[in-house]
Structure formats: C-alpha cells, structure tokens
A and B are shown apart, each in its own frame.
Chain A
Amino acid sequence: MNVVVCVKQIPDPAAPAALNPGTNTLDRSGKLIMDDSDNYGVEMALQLASGEGDEVTLVSMAPGGETSGLRTGLAMGAAKAILISDDALAGSDALGTARVLAAAIARANPDLVVMATESSDGYTGTLPVQVAELMGLPSVTFAKAIAVDGSSVKVERQTEAGYDEVVCPLPALVTVTAGVVEPRYPSFKGIMAAKSKPVDNLTVADLGIDASQVGAAGAGQEITDVSDAEARGAGEIVVDEGDGAQRVVAFLEQLKVV
C-alpha cells in the first residue's frame, strides 16, 4: 500500500510570528520545522503501511527548497519525499496550494492520502478537502482512528455528539486530529538514514500547472487591513497565599455564578 502524508513546514510556533510588511503574508524567512500536527499523520501512515512492499511518501510545498521539516518525517520512517518549491508559489491561498499538492500527490499514485485536520499556522482547515475534490477522491475528515481493510478504509470520525464509524473505498483522503496516536521520536539511526533518503524537487512547471493559477497571481483573495484587536482591561493578579480558592469563590459569588 502506498500512503502519502502531506507535511507542512512552518515557522517554529515557539518563536514570535510576524507578517511581511507590504504583502501581509506570514513571514516564513526563519527556520522552518515540521508542523506538530503532522506528527500524527506521519505516525498513522507508518503504522498503516508497515507491511511488505508498503511505502510512505511525504509531500510538502515550501519556499527556498526547505527540507528540514521533511527530514523529521523521513527520520520517523517515511521512505521518500516530494518537495515543491518555486518562487511563483509565494502568496498562494489554500486553493492554489491545493492545486499544487493535488498534482504532486498524484505522482506517488497513493492508495491513501493522510493529512492533519488543519495546520498550526494558517489553520484554514479546508485544504485537505480541496485536494480531495481536485483529485476526484472521497474524503473522511476528523479521524480519531483509521483501519485499512483490503480495499476500504474504516474511520472513527469525530462528531459533535461522539463519533461516527465511516467506511470509504480506497483510494481516499483522510484527515487526522491530534492526539490520535503516540508519534514516535526519530531514532539516531533514523536521523542518519533520513539524510540520504530521496527528496524529489519539483517546480510549478514540472507539475504542468499554469503559474497564473497559483501564488499571489492565482489567489482570489487579498488582505486589506491589519490592525490591533481591542485589548482586555487589566485584571487583578494575586499570588496564592493559601487563600487562592477563597478569592475565586468570592469572585464567582460577585458574578452570582454560585
């Protein structure tokens, strides 16, 4: 079974984030790392594709030929990666990105495509389904458990009230929520091996995509303003001297909650 996992390489969430002046796009000029949300997809894929002849391929779109995040996924155990990097992609919106990823994923001829429910930085949360629609695949979003049974995939899908058991024929696209599996830490051996695993570098032209469909040129949306949100007024901060609980009770009483 061929499983593709889409991996987003994002600015370290621990570092302060900023917008590029002028374009108002997210500043991605610093070091990029694999989005934490993608740990779960990579782990899930490795568990599902653990048989003879099974293979996990990572697909990522990132500026500047960035592979540091991809190496993390390769160190976890993925066999190879496809990276799409092209100056023409700067300023892409979710649909433009979906066009690129759909074309790149198709090259790996997957039985199953796994993605995080949404990225930690952009969090539009629509990209996976846009990719599925462009590829003509069925999709099951918000998976908290995935099992492959022959030619179909069985998913426990998170719902408002609990979860649904959903069955879907392969090939299909599934998005996973965080916390569904315990992602493995790359071993030293894995980290060393990842350095020599193949990364296929592609451009927009390689994928046969019209450059006017992607990047800022293809984005059908623009930012018109960025402003500071209204700040909340300062509250009362007290150090617990054994009376912390009583302070909370008094506050709740004042609000007539208790």
Chain B
Amino acid sequence: MPIGKVWVLAEKGDSGPTPVTLELLTEARAVASTVEAVAWGDDAASLAGPLGEYGATTLYDVGDLGGNLPGVPVAAALAALIEGGNAPDAIFLPATYEGRDVAGRLSAKLGRPVLTNVTGLVEGDGGLQSQHPIFGGSQIVTARFTGEGPAIFVIRAKSFAAEPSGGAAAAVTSAPVPDVAATNTAKVVERHVEERTGPKLDEAAVVVSGGRGLGEAANYALIEELAKLLHGAAGASRAIVDAGWVPYSHQVGQTGKTVKPTVYVACGISGATQHLVGMKGSKNIIAINKDQEAPIFSVADLGIVGDVHKVLPALIEALKAKG
C-alpha cells in the first residue's frame, strides 16, 4: 500500500451514499491500508452500513448542520480532527457542489494545497500522484504534493469503478463542528426540487446532448424528446448553457458533469476541448453535425455529417415508428 490512511467525504443521495462516494471508497481501499469516511446530516449514521460495505472502518459523523451550507462547518470539523492529531495521509472529496466547497475551505484553513479534477491516482516516489486531463483530455498531467500532508484530492465522478468489499458497518464516531460563527452564516431557507423524468444525467445509460448547432433554444425540445425515447438523460454543451437555453445542471464537460454512458449522442456540438473532456470516456459516441471538420468526429464511433434539423426529427420519427 502506498499510503496508510485515507478519508473519504461521503455524500448522501436519494437512498444511501451517492455513486461517487462508493467510487472514492473503492479507490481508497486500493491505495491505503485504512479507509475512513466523513458524513454530515441528522441521519449521517445511517450510512455506516453501506459505507462499511465499501471499506470504511470508521464513520466520522459531523451531525446536523442546522440548515447551514456544508462547506464551512464540515471543513471546520475535519480541521479539528486533524489538529487533534488524527490526520490521514490523504483526503478524497468528490468534485460536487459540496465537495468542492469543503475542499476549498479545508485547504485555506490548513494552508495546504488542493489538487482538483483528478481522474486517476498512481503510486510514485513513495506517495500518491494524481492524474488530470488537460486540453480536452488529449493529454494527461500527473501531479504530486511537495509539502506536508494531508494531501487533498478533489476527484471527478466516474473516475473509478465502485466495488463492495463486503466489510462490516463502519464504527460511528462523533466529529462535532467547532465554533466558526463568523463564516458559518449561509443558511438554506428553502429547497426546490425540479421535476425530473428519466434517469440522472451522470447515471444514465444513454445521454443525448445538444449544442449551438440546434440554432435556437426552442429546438432543445428535440434533444429532450430523443432522450426520452431512448430512456436516457438530456445534456448540453457549455455554449447553450452560457446562452441561457438550459440550466447549468445539464452541462456536460470540463466545467460541468463527466458522463460515461453506454451511448452518447452529440447533436449540433462541435466538440470544443471543454466538452470532449466530459464525455470522451463514453462507451459509444454518435455525433451529428453539419461541419465535417468538427472535432467531435475525432471521438465519434458513428458520425453523421448532416443537419440536426433534418436528422433529429427523422430519427425521432423512426424510433417512434419502432415503438
């Protein structure tokens, strides 16, 4: 084992730990002899079973945050554990809304750097080194920390496959939030859940994404319809998110989500490096674009050089006809 102990920031999903939590635990087991998890919320302890099943022996329970955003209080609780002499060699956090907040806060609090957008980990020079895709994933940079630990890695979803270890439930230890009055003041007053039909973008077996080539916002309906017919999720390029056509939560790419579906259908997307890095790990890629020179064709298994305004409606009709 390259290192002794890893902490994994565990997030709770609709039912149990999120998929990326389990991916991080699995990788932690591969590189460290001891894996421990950290979770928050009034029912964080309920995660002890599933987290143990993926290798965590201890669960640090930060407890209920009273509606406050997790970044400040969870980072403070972690820093307190570390200052109490319980430092791990590395901390794995998911590249999610909360994971990034906790990582940034903890980094500044400890005066330790953070390596983000990690998609792979390798052993080298007696420690862990992280891999990061750059320039649209055409090149991989390997980096390492030079100073004292703990090493803080923010890891993208889908970087590792999750596999249970069959371990017993993690032992729950309380890790209370110390006094952080001045900064711990951002409070959630209401949660809005948007209706979602079909699977989540980063969990779907089929993802259909649209880009600027759709011409106008109203045409995104074609993407949604095709996604629905294929029991998949609808994604988007950064260009149309920036243009305000669809919300940020649909964005696939460097600044959005990483997806690795069985089939990815890119419609009217040129394939800027920004986009490629988020989807080139898909098993099969279909691209429809009118520009034969578009970079998206360099990663496509099937490329249709054609007008999305013609091909998409025809494709939707053909799939409907098949029933």
Contacts and interface: CB of A to CB of B under 8 A. Distances in A.
B140 A226 contact: yes
B38 interface: no
Interface in A126-158: 126-134, 136-142, 144, 157-158
B220 interface: no
Given A127-B104, A158-B249, A139 B186 contact: yes
A237 B124 contact: no
B143 A172 contact: no
Nearest to B307: A240
B17 interface: no
B306 interface: yes
Nearest to A213: B111
Nearest to B105: A133
A167 B40 CA distance: 20
B310 to A, nearest CB: 7
Contact of B315 (A138, A158, A161, A249): A249
| Centre residue among B69, B103, B124, B319 by max chain A CB count within 10 A | B69
B173 interface: no
Contacts of B161: none
A205 interface: no
Contact of A221 (B115, B133, B304, B314): B115
A138 B135 contact: no
B160 interface: no
B238 interface: yes
A248 B288 contact: yes
Contacts, number: 277
Contacts of A245: 311, 314-315, 317-318
B141 A165 contact: no
B6 interface: no
Contacts of A172: 185-186
A72 interface: no
Contacts of B125: 224
A166 interface: yes
Interface stretch (A59-67, A91-99, A104-112, A187-195): A91-99
A57 B185 CA distance: 25
Contact of B101 (A137, A139, A257, A258): A139
Interface in A160-181: 160-169, 172, 177-180
Contact of B108 (A13, A17, A129): A129
A52 interface: no
B286 A251 contact: yes
B140 A257 contact: no
24 contacts: A13-B274, A94-B114, A95-B114, A120-B255, A123-B116, A125-B100, A127-B104, A138-B185, A160-B200, A165-B189, A167-B187, A169-B185, A178-B241, A223-B141, A223-B142, A228-B138, A232-B285, A235-B300, A240-B304, A245-B315, A247-B302, A251-B301, A252-B286, A255-B262
